[in-house]
Amino acid sequence: MAGQLKPGAGPLDYGNRTWLRALFIGIFFILYMPIITLIAFSFNTDKRGIVWRGFTFDNYVKAMTNDSLIEALVNSLVIALIATVIATIIGTMVAILLWRFKFPFKGAFEGFMALPLGA
């Protein structure tokens, strides 16, 4: 296999493949364009946000003075912090378990842990 590679190109050097770069750029465009559009139209003066009427910061001023919205933001941040701490503790314990101990079906457990999440 080493004889088939170009000098300076490793088996994981995918950056030089043009079709892979194009695919990567296309996927990023598809994923991030709706977010960029949402951010751009958040500065729109039109109430429905369909047609660009003008530039304003009023939507952000209204959001920062809305008490229920700020309460929801604080609740989300607290839940995210707690979930992060719990996930870090569980992940650290599993890493120590896999590193220090030998147990039956350890290879199957490692393979299961490597499976992607989602349905």
pLDDT, tens digit, 9 for 90 and up, residues 17-72: 788 889 989 999 999 999 999 898 889 888 887 888 889 898 899 989 999 999 99
* 55, two tokens: 């530039």
Supply the pTM of this predicted model.
0.59
Residue whose entry in the numeric block shows the structure tokens 């839940």: 79
The pLDDT value recorded for residue 116 is 82
> Distances from the Cα of 29 to the Cαs of 40, 61, 69, in angstroms?
15, 30, 30
